[in-house]
Amino acid sequence: MSYPAREVARMLGLSVGQVRAWVRAGFLEPERGPKNELRFTFSDLVLMRTAKDLLAARIPPRRVKTALSKLRLRLPEGRTLRTLRIVAEGEEIVVGQDAARFRADDGQLLLDFDTSDLARKAAPVVRAVSRARAELSAASAHDWYERGCDLEEADPEEARNAYRRALELDPSHVDAHVNLGRLLHEAGDPQAAVAHYRLAMQSRPDDPTAAFNLGVALEDLHEHEAALLAYANALASDPSLADAHFNVARIHEQRGQKAQAIRHLRDYKNLTRGSRT
């Protein structure tokens, strides 16, 4: 079983950026999924929680990385870090294994102690992951849409997946179509974006955002006649869309239609005059 960076971050109280930074810093080496996304094992999760605790105890990051790397090399075959107890004692990183304690940096034995199972301590994290997945499996289309909105900045790919899940549950969810179309367009696929904008307009024909975005995507596909129609629909729904007038003026200018270009450019200037003062 493996976990994406988003779930690991959520369960450990980190940001996705912190998780990725720790990977770049060499704290651990997660696997890659079919889409080259980071996938973390249970052992990775335990190790990351350990690193977080050590850093919170003001152990310098370089020492944490060095100690955990050396510790992995010293483990006997068949043993993993999840079977150990790793804690900070003052400025030292101390490891418990079976009935002994030793320093992670150099392996020097310390005092005997009672065995503690780190995997048991990490179990609440794993249970929380399972609960989160169960909650998502029962989530509504709106829940998935809201999740997509939350993820757009941090993880656009996961945001797209969330919008797709929303549309599986409710194919007529207009806002999910619009947002997914925009993300697909930003990712370099205007053709896929056009399909979602048109589906949005089937459910809500007077949606000015869907119509305007459709026009932009069609322009990028050099379908200027269709783009003009989309912008006309956007302006019919919201005459204050200054950018639609500007884009229409640009298309007419490119086609040598000076009178139409001047008229829409004048409308654009009239609408934006107040915002520039």
The structure's pTM equals: 0.53
pLDDT for residue 156:
86
Domain boundaries, the chain: 3-131, 139-209
CATH class of residue range 139-209: mainly alpha
- The C-alpha atoms of residue 220 and residue 215 are separated, in whole angstroms, by 9
90 within 8 A of 96, measured Cβ to Cβ: no
**Fold of the domain built from segment(s) 3-131:** Multidrug-efflux Transporter Regulator; Chain: A; Domain 2 (1.10.1660)
Residue 3 half-sphere exposure toward CB, CA atoms < 13 A:
26
pLDDT digits (tens, 9 = 90+) for 49-108: 767 776 676 667 666 666 666 655 555 444 444 444 555 555 555 555 444 444 444 444
Tokens of 86: 């790793």
166 within 8 A of 199, measured Cβ to Cβ: no
Closest residue by Cα to residue 236 from 244, 224, 247: 244
pLDDT for residue 244:
92
pLDDT for residue 234:
96
Q: Report the alpha-carbon angle 250-252-253, nearest 5.
A: 60
Closest residue by Cα to residue 147 from 12, 8, 33, 10: 10
